[in-house]
Structure 1
Amino acid sequence: MTKNSDFEIFLATVPGLEPVLCAEIRGKGFKQPRAVPGGVVIRGGWPEVWRANLWIRGAGRILARLDAFRVLHLAQLDGRARHVAWGSVLRPDVPFRVEASCSGSRIYHSGAAAERIEAAIRDRLGAPASSEAEVVVRARIEHDLCTISVDTSGELLHKRGYKEAVNRAPMRETMAALFLQQCGFDGREPVLDPMCGSGTFVIEAAEIAARLNPGRFRHFAFEKLATFDAEAWQRMREVRSGRIPAARCYGSDRDAGAVTMSRANAERAGVADGTEFQQRTISDVVAPAGPPGLVIANPPYGTRIGDRTALFPLYRALGQTLMSRFAGWRVGIVTSEVMLAQATGLPFLPATAPVPHGGLRVSLFRTGPLP
């Protein structure tokens, strides 16, 4: 595989949010994205891999597909793995590790499968294997089809590189970006999170408004591959797509520590000028001056934080505040509990399908513009 090779690229996301990620990828100009279980597939070369890691907000990791073949037993896997063109992607001087998964296949021992592939790479390439290696080769054996990929991201992509402080039960930036997109947010209206925690929704919205690349601060595993072109990557990173935001993004929280944390995170993200954080209880929240926009929140729910029955007053207060002070604003609330969402009294549209988050399944409850 050379820099100009055309191959399959897989962008992983939370099951249930594949169509939302697909829409984002299409909107960023990638050709013919196709939603599949667990993510979106595109085709391209290594520059597309680099661009996807730098640009795409909703993907958790990005895999470059190296090969795929049918295998029925470990000896066959061993033989086929030795014919993969490892040297065109991996470097002999960079440590690697192999992770495998097996599902519905005659090869069912993932550890044994990983060992065979690891041995093939060591023998063919001479690269050292290490359990701490950043470069990860992933093998998925499903219904006897083995797909070999290299993880081009390294650390999961929700780690944008600016957040040192997080609150309890934080939402990942990747999921927050997809929920913002589901609410119709495109960066041209104000956003307010009345329970901002560490500021994830607010900072993500402010970055979208300023057209800042989500991967601008971080390192990626593809920088350690044989296909990496440092000069081309530097030129790609230097392209500035920022703009002066049309509207500000606001966060508030009753906890002073959360407000301090959010301000510090926004400062590190470079969006302090486009954000504003205040210590306020739900009943004290008011709409900022100017045109209406989007209120989005990830309140406590069920087993996530606290006793469910104790949360009904909080949700009722949230609904009363929004209905009385946020005419014309749309609302998005993420929760695992339908009854808690209903307790707000807000005129929700049909809820989105539940998606996994923090060991629970959550839904996004949305409204149109409030009366």
Structure 2
Amino acid sequence: MPSPSSRHDAFAVCTPGLEQLLEGELRRLGIRGRVGTGGVAFRATTRELYAANLWSRVATRVVVRAARFEARSFAELERAARRVDWASWLGPGTRPVFRVSSRSSRLYHTGAIGQRLGAVAEHVTGHAPSGDATSEQLFVVRVRRDAFTISVDSSGEALHRRGWRLATAKAPLRETLAAAMLLATGWQPDRPLVDPFCGSGTIPIEAALLGTGRPPGADRAFAFQRWPSFAPGTWASVLASASRAEREAAKRCGTLVIVGRDRDAGAIEAATANAERAGVAHHLDLQRASISELQPPASTPGWILTNPPYGKRIASGGDLRDLYARLGQVARTLFAGWSIGLLVTDRRLAAQAAVPFEERIRSSNGALAVSLLTGELRTPG
């Protein structure tokens, strides 16, 4: 069974396009990783594994490699599965759940693979049948050309579920992507930030969490806390370090100027409720307002950072091209010297803002391909 001093072969999963940002996050935690497609591979101590879950703003989940072997028949699969250290990951009352993918392998029936692995895991650990379980532990099984890789999920619920977003507006932005936008722009807490289409408040709330140094996972539980190999003393030390880092960040950040605006009153209500749950409502200025009512909140230049509407037409029946053009006009006129970042699905729409943009991120938001475009709002003349 792994000890607190064990080293784990881990992989932090993220939405494709965010890998470099994730590698940078891990590096700041003192973890050296190798960028791959859809995430970052790294070797981690137990403490580093816990910290990666607590601190990553970009990762979707963190998995640990539990076993690697080859199997060309179900008999070979069962023999190999009996050598897996299931007892380190499955405690009494925990049911194993398997997410299986198979390609170019003799064993291709993913449901049957999961059933065999589950039966072996329950037999080896001697725990109650899965029907009596009170919790679940996810195992990710990848089969390529008869080679099996079994990884155990250390996160539990996906890491974008911070624990504060219960109220949503239309087309909510995933928290991990909002955090990636902030990291990609290099926004700093001493600069004001304005989101004119804040919706349920994801960008302003993530900015406040970043600015105050609060770990994104501070208000949630993780799968590793249910492992028989869980080290409570190590976890307590990670949390204590996080508390110290948050106190130090509070001394440095001073007064945050983070503004969220939306023309939809329901969106502002949702944003306010979410901000209160996240414990950052006192750092945010959230009000109902249209683009035409937008004003700089401070004399210091900062960022307009937003996720504008993607649809063909806005609720009032106006063309979205007009909305982007109006945003560009207000930004260029009133926010000269600022920077602007738009998360868009259509660069032709962004062109209506008449800002010289460059692409910082190419990723996805749900099923939609998106790009983060940034530019400078130059002073007239």
Structure 2 counterpart of 1:370, one-letter code: R
Per the alignment, residue 233 of structure 1 pairs with 235
Partner SS, residue 94 of structure 2: coil
Q: Does 1:356 align with 2:364?
A: yes
Partner SS, residue 217 of structure 1: coil
Per the alignment, residue 367 of structure 1 pairs with 375
Runs (5+) with no aligned partner, structure 1: none
* Residues 55, 215 of structure 2: 8 Å contact kept: yes
Per the alignment, residue 8 of structure 2 pairs with 7
- C-alpha deviation, 1:216, in angstroms: 0.5
- C-alpha deviation, 1:314, in angstroms: 0.8
RMSD: 2.1
1:296 to 278, 282, 305: 305
Output aligned runs, 1:178-189, within 5 Å: 178-189=180-191
Equivalent residue pairs, number: 369
1:268 to 277, 302, 307: 277
Output aligned runs, 1:245-324, within 5 Å: 245-246=253-254, 247-302=256-311, 310-324=319-333
- C-alpha deviation, 1:26, in angstroms: 1.0
Deviations 1:152-182 (A, max 9, x none): 1111111111122111111111111111111
Deviations 1:61-106 (A, max 9, x none): 1111111123333332221111111113322442322221112333
* Residues 143, 149 of structure 2: 8 Å contact kept: yes
1:339 to 348, 358, 364: 348
* Residues 192, 295 of structure 1: 8 Å contact kept: yes
* Residues 135, 154 of structure 1: 8 Å contact kept: yes
* Of 102-111 and 80-89, the range deviating more from structure 2: 102-111
Per the normalisation by structure 2, the TM-score is 0.91
Per the alignment, residue 149 of structure 1 pairs with 151
% same residue: 38
Per the normalisation by structure 1, the TM-score is 0.93
1-side partners of 2:311 and 2:267: how far apart?
21
Runs of 4+, deviation exceeding 4 Å: 303-309
Runs (5+) with no aligned partner, structure 2: none
Output aligned runs, 1:187-202, within 5 Å: 187-202=189-204
* Residues 63, 152 of structure 1: 8 Å contact kept: yes
1-side partners of 2:134 and 2:143: how far apart?
23
Relative distance call for 1:303 and 1:60 in structure 2 (3 A) is farther
Deviations 1:194-234 (A, max 9, x none): 00001000010111110001111111111110111223323
Relative distance call for 1:306 and 1:27 in structure 2 (3 A) is farther
Deviations 1:17-67 (A, max 9, x none): 11111112112322x211111111111122222111111110011111111
* Residues 50, 235 of structure 2: 8 Å contact kept: yes
